[in-house]
């Protein structure tokens, strides 16, 4: 065990105080700098003063060229047909077995463990 003298303790205390004040000053200085940046006047630019972008071959075309569509109207016809939807429910037992059922029944039997599985409607 080593003993330190009172002079050593006061010197280390002085170093800690100087370090703490330096850290405190740097925090205050950064805070003041951020505040100064926030309080600077905002300069606004009129949209008419901004120059147009130079034409680029990669820009998107918003309109169809007149030589491709002289009338200005393009009509496309599509056939409308009826379709059907098949709902398939996935059922999962507590034993981990999964199977699919085309109809939602309240009670089904697990093919693996032969237990009754009580089902609820989705979202219900």
Residue predicted with more confidence, 108 or 4: 108
Does the pLDDT of residue 47 top 80, yes or no? no
DSSP string for the chain: -----HHHHHHHHHHHHHHHHHHHHHHHHHHHHHHHHHTSPPP---GGGSPPPPP-TTSPP-S--TTT-SSS----------------EEEE-TTS-EEEESS--SEEE-TTT--EEE---TT-
**What's the confidence (pLDDT) of residue 23?**
61
- Where does the pLDDT of residue 44 fall: very low under 50, low under 70, confident under 90, or very high at 90 and above? confident
Does the pLDDT of residue 109 top 90, yes or no? yes
**What's the confidence (pLDDT) of residue 20?**
56
Domain ranges across the chain: 1-41, 86-124
Does the pLDDT of residue 71 top 90, yes or no? no
**What's the confidence (pLDDT) of residue 1?**
47
- Where does the pLDDT of residue 95 fall: very low under 50, low under 70, confident under 90, or very high at 90 and above? very high
């Amino acid at each position: 065990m080593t003993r330190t003298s009172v002079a050593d303790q006061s010197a280390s205390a002085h170093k800690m105080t100087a370090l703490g004040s330096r850290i405190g000053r740097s925090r205050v200085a950064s805070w003041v700098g951020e505040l100064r940046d926030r309080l600077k006047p905002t300069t606004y630019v009129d949209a008419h003063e901004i120059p147009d972008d130079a034409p680029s071959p990669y820009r998107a075309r918003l309109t169809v060229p007149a030589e491709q569509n002289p009338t200005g109207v393009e009509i496309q016809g599509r056939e409308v047909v009826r379709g059907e939807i098949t709902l398939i429910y996935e059922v999962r037992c507590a034993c981990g077995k999964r199977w699919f059922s085309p109809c939602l029944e309240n009670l089904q039997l697990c093919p693996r463990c032969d237990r009754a599985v009580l089902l609820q409607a989705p979202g219900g």
